[in-house]
Structure 1
């Protein structure tokens, strides 16, 4: 690995050119130019060799700004190409509706034609398999997820046809592929290193959970994409906000601040952070910043994040958890940055001054986006519960009587769907409690079909199987679980700003499910929404514990080699599991090799 702690290769802290210069200096002495170990030169002027073979290689390919930019594009392109190959090749296999495709694909097709999801006859799956998708009925179907994910699936069918599996799945596959370069950009922003960004994107590209939810048309991979997009915008907003509040407070101190806070030329001194106690009462000695600081309205990236999380919520309501969590995160960042700049009442300023502004920038935007995805349902009258408010005795009265009846009906629909979700108790053989998720106890088998040589010429064993199991690469998943625990510990012991957003993402995706432990129909594949954050936690561990590129060569080389071994092991395990992620025909004994735990059968 060419990146390490803080001063990772490719980061601003350790330019590759510096490594190249150091390497050239260290190798200038040939074997013929020996130095007496006891001489003064040997004891005082011989430098300690730093870096590793990977740093030397990195320096060769990034010696100039042009080479560096080209190398970054190559790395980004390589992981994107890998993701595309694993998600698009053989996408039409298997040629029948798999798992919850029986709901979402058919719902998507009727949705893009009628504006709402319709019921289907009992033999609808056979009609789909034979290439005849237009057998939906006019009667509305009761569905419990918002429309956007199904619109994505439906758009793919409109473009590539609903009479073939490729058309059913291409919309999901494209977003699943794009999630990989999206994670690259996120990791690049977090760690400042293209190498670490490539490692993170590579792990997502080869992970089975991400592959399966990109090749089968269910909603969870779409949800993950929009969550990750919102996270990128949150990071961009943080960067932009820090720049803007720096400029505004510096301008205040230059023009309005106390004279004691400026030098003889009128330039402001550096402000010391405000003591923690100053968030609740004024300190005895005034800090160097303003009392409250500015309220910043110009935050386009925050609005973009709200839109992205609104889109996530329009796929599944669990996207709301990410919207709420990251809105609170931006308030916490605001408070912290104000405190760093000497704002007296930094906490109350963040909550009471900037907080309402941020609320107005985010929640209305997210709500409008969410509502817009229901346009088809609202603009027609055939949808389930669509005319509920028009029925006698149902319309709201009093202060809410002004609300359009279509929205009243949508509210009723949503409340009934919420009751369905919270009260769902149907038993399923592959259900998995959220308490089991961190340990990968019970992954979800989407499909498996047995055959023998007598009924399948491609089977060259006594018994063969075509299986699709939504299971993460176990090495990546278990490493991610350990990495999240490590990040929680480091948040207490040695906090860095990257820890906050990573843990917020994991918490928003996982912790709310602990409130529904009594619900039975909960599955491991729901965890795809926070899988990218677990991978970022792995990258953070590498960022933290691998010695920096200016460390002694032996220590640096050991860390780089250990990272390389980890990536090789992950790759080999993914190669082992690939057939059970993509439905490739394999002997039954091979399938058994992938059953590492009892719950994986």
Structure 2
């Protein structure tokens, strides 16, 4: 751990200010709806008016957040996207917290947070009114809360943070169902840590499942803890449907609430026509087919917003995942295995989810965890004369961010063909 307790909070505060300032810069350009905002902003308007159900394919949390932004700042580009910037900043801070709680070093956590900030996917999603940014923010904060609970020194603190994690996971699932697997991972991770502790100390399975004598999650017995986590998450998830009970047309009823979940599932798994931007799950880590969220005349100029990952982070992250797995096997390090597992766990569901179409932006959540693997791998391997390679990596990522910034931020372009300057491969749009 670092010499002073204040440094993590200072680093986090600086990171938060940088992130929010960057995400808010020219936030209202374009001033019109872009990409999937055409679905979610009208749904948020319906929520504000309590008119009738809209965009019933997904639960309500993301649309409730958009509606809250509109109620605070108005029904315009600022209102649509304002809280997305907050979700983006929360995501950056959540990654910082995860790395800090896992590795106990401000430097490693700061590298992870900076790379998250410089990852194009996070920047783009923090500036658009979509559901994914809210889902990811709640997932990342939920993981951080459970790790915080793991580090608690008393049972009351552990339980409070554990319940908070359940609340955050419930909100994440309430934004998008893609967050569901993380509840399963949380339970599996809890049991795995307890099993490792029991084996290390030569204790029984009963001891692992009991509440007393544990360094991690003190005072939490396994079965009650897992039941509470699931119950809190499920309760919060269903509570997020409360506004739907007050629609003027086709209001939700308690008898229909469960059946409505099946209706959402049917909509999400229906066979859809082919789309020019569709791509297969195996292609997302390679960034074979990114997506234009915007490329047209807007606000007096040709502008573009390309949903793309920072090549240093997305491609370098794959190398880091492999390096973490190798080091975990060689050193027996559970922390390095977990750093790689965050990415793998976020990516795996998309391989098995029964979706007829896939898009690169589905890779958003996995891309968020790559900075954790990169920071972990750099901390493990960059020592001695290589100790400053982590700084060099951040500089490379920052340089790529500057190069691609015009087509990430909807900056004015010289002419309609100007986008070709950034198209590195034929498969890029």
TM-score (normalizing by structure 2): 0.90
CA distance 1:306–1:579, shift in 2 (3 Å): same
* 1:354-382 C-alpha deviation (Å, 9 max, x unpaired): 44212321111011100110001134463
2:400 aligned residue (573, 580, 594): 573
2:311 matched residue in structure 1: 474
How far did 1:74 drift? 4.5
1:445 matched residue in structure 2: 292
How far did 1:498 drift? 1.6
Tell me which moved more, 468-477 or 179-188: 179-188
CA distance 1:350–1:428, shift in 2 (3 Å): farther
2:87 matched residue in structure 1: 175
SS state at 1:600 partner: coil
2:30 matched residue in structure 1: 94
> What is the CA–CA distance in structure 2 between the aligned matches of 1:337 and 1:521, rounded to whole Å?
43
2:376 aligned residue (527, 535, 540): 540
Structure 2, gaps ≥5 residues long: 212-219
* 1:548-599 C-alpha deviation (Å, 9 max, x unpaired): xxxxxxxx23331x33322221111100111111111123565222111222
> What is the CA–CA distance in structure 2 between the aligned matches of 1:166 and 1:221, rounded to whole Å?
16
1:376 matched residue in structure 2: 243
* 1:15-74 C-alpha deviation (Å, 9 max, x unpaired): 5xxxxxxxxxxxxxxxxxxxxxxxxxxxxxxxxxxxxxxxxxxxxxxxxx5xx83x5554
2:215 matched residue in structure 1: none
Instruction: Name the Cα RMSD after superposition.
Output: 2.6
How far did 1:413 drift? 1.5
SS state at 1:469 partner: strand
SS state at 1:215 partner: coil
Higher helix share: 2
* Match status 1:429 vs 2:309: no
CA distance 1:594–1:297, shift in 2 (3 Å): closer
Residues 353-392 of structure 1 mapped to structure 2, 5 A cutoff: 354-380=221-247, 382-383=249-250, 386=252
How far did 1:417 drift? 1.4
SS state at 1:447 partner: strand
> What is the CA–CA distance in structure 2 between the aligned matches of 1:329 and 1:224, rounded to whole Å?
19
Are the counterparts in 2 of residues 334 and 350 from structure 1 also a CA contact under 8 Å? no
SS state at 1:159 partner: helix
Are the counterparts in 1 of residues 52 and 248 from structure 2 also a CA contact under 8 Å? no
CA distance 1:428–1:558, shift in 2 (3 Å): same
* 1:529-551 C-alpha deviation (Å, 9 max, x unpaired): 2323211000010111011xxxx
> What is the CA–CA distance in structure 2 between the aligned matches of 1:346 and 1:506, rounded to whole Å?
31
How far did 1:450 drift? 5.2
> What is the CA–CA distance in structure 1 between the aligned matches of 2:224 and 2:9, rounded to whole Å?
38
How far did 1:428 drift? 1.3
> What is the CA–CA distance in structure 1 between the aligned matches of 2:422 and 2:210, rounded to whole Å?
51
SS state at 2:293 partner: strand
SS state at 2:387 partner: helix
* 1:266-296 C-alpha deviation (Å, 9 max, x unpaired): xxxxxxxxxxxxxxxxxxxxxxxxxxxxxx9
CA distance 1:489–1:408, shift in 2 (3 Å): farther
> What is the CA–CA distance in structure 2 between the aligned matches of 1:140 and 1:72, rounded to whole Å?
44
Are the counterparts in 2 of residues 335 and 346 from structure 1 also a CA contact under 8 Å? no
TM-score (normalizing by structure 1): 0.65
> What is the CA–CA distance in structure 2 between the aligned matches of 1:330 and 1:361, rounded to whole Å?
13
> What is the CA–CA distance in structure 2 between the aligned matches of 1:584 and 1:496, rounded to whole Å?
45
How far did 1:349 drift? 3.8
* 1:374-394 C-alpha deviation (Å, 9 max, x unpaired): 00113446347x3xxxxxxxx
SS state at 1:446 partner: strand
Structure 1, gaps ≥5 residues long: 1-10, 16-64, 115-137, 246-295, 387-405, 459-464, 548-555
How far did 1:139 drift? 4.8
> What is the CA–CA distance in structure 2 between the aligned matches of 1:325 and 1:72, rounded to whole Å?
27
CA distance 1:582–1:526, shift in 2 (3 Å): same
Are the counterparts in 1 of residues 70 and 80 from structure 2 also a CA contact under 8 Å? yes
